[in-house]
Amino acid sequence: MIYKIFGITFYKKDLINENVLCPICNWSGNKFAMFGLIARDALCPKCGSLERHRLSYFYLLSKINLFASKSIKVLHFAPEKSITSIFKMFKNIEYISCDIEPEKAMCVQDITNITFDDNTFDIIFCSHVLEHIEDDSKAMTELFRVLHPQGIAILQVPFGKIHPFDKTELTTTFEDFTITAPEEREKAFGQEDHVRLYEKNDFVKRLKDSGFNVIEEKIMEAFKDEFQIKYGLSADDIIFAVTKQ
């Protein structure tokens, strides 16, 4: 049996025996491994993918032109092993990973001061990075600069819904750069190395202020419940695809 997501054909034979399946590395089992501060079944024990990475897999497959003769230049910030393996599936991709820490990627880049030329990359993948960066406006401006005019940048950040201290609804991004101690940052922003708690509409505004056209990809709507469970996806995960036009 076959099914289609975003016009891509998948075979359904994987739905027969095992409860869950990682679409990236094909690991299957009864459930994903426990992960997170509030522990949940989320982690692929083989490739390390989480819900958001598996969602990105389906999204990237729908966006990368397998049959393009032209090579596609990809820049991957703070590379996750599972996402790297997706890009390596494609022969027509010129892949570069980068990180602020030299041992974590192919090259060192400060996202607020990228050394690549303007208009270089067809795809930029930057997931759960911007919440670590104090000057996120400069980072967004740099991503805009190095993106090809017809390119697409795929950005993900975690969102807050409740203000960490007064517990009211979060109406804009919460940031306070005087909070620097790891344990205080964890209380305020949810993780000891985060510098803010983004509110979704404000994140979109910041991207637009940096020049981007912002598309919120409602990719989860393409998945029936059985596939959300099978592939360990989360309705909370959102993919923002940003372009220069």
**Of 147, 85, 84, nearest in space to 118 by CA:** 147
User: Interacting stretch for Zn ion, rule CB under 5 A, among 3-11, 26-34, 62-70, 144-152?
Assistant: 26-34
Largest pairwise CA distance in the chain? 56
Distance CA 137, CA 207 (A): 8
Distance CA 201, CA 23 (A): 30
In a 3-state reduction of DSSP, which class is residue 179?
coil
- The least distance separating Zn ion from the CB of residue 241, rounded to whole angstroms, comes to 23
Residues 152-181 that bind Zn ion (CB under 5 A): none
Count of residues in contact with Zn ion, rule CB under 5 A: 8
| H or E, element range at 4 | strand 2-5
- The least distance separating Zn ion from the CB of residue 45, rounded to whole angstroms, comes to 8
Judged by CB, which is closer to Zn ion: 27, or 116?
A: 27
User: Interacting stretch for Zn ion, rule CB under 5 A, among 16-24, 99-107, 201-209, 213-221?
Assistant: 16-24
Residues 49-68 that bind Zn ion (CB under 5 A): 49
Our finding on whether 35 is near Zn ion (CB under 5 A) is no
- Identified binder of Zn ion from the candidate list 10, 15, 20, 27, rule CB under 5 A: 27
Judged by CB, which is closer to Zn ion: 86, or 143?
A: 86
DSSP code at position 150: E
Residue 230 is encoded by which pair of tokens? 């099978």
Phi, psi of 209 (to 5 degrees): -65, -25
Judged by CB, which is closer to Zn ion: 46, or 205?
A: 46
- The least distance separating Zn ion from the CB of residue 233, rounded to whole angstroms, comes to 13
Distance CA 91, CA 77 (A): 20
Our finding on whether 44 is near Zn ion (CB under 5 A) is yes
User: Interacting stretch for Zn ion, rule CB under 5 A, among 25-33, 110-118, 155-163, 167-175?
Assistant: 25-33
Burial class (CB in 10 A: 0-12, 13-18, 19+), 66: exposed
Our finding on whether 47 is near Zn ion (CB under 5 A) is yes
Judged by CB, which is closer to Zn ion: 54, or 148?
A: 54
Judged by CB, which is closer to Zn ion: 47, or 140?
A: 47
Residues 123 and 152 sit within 8 Å (Cβ to Cβ) = yes
Q: Is the dihedral of CA 155, 217, 29, 85 positive or negative?
A: negative
Distance CA 104, CA 87 (A): 17
Judged by CB, which is closer to Zn ion: 46, or 200?
A: 46
Our finding on whether 25 is near Zn ion (CB under 5 A) is yes
Instruction: Tell me which residues touch Zn ion (CB under 5 A).
Output: 22, 24-25, 27, 44, 46-47, 49
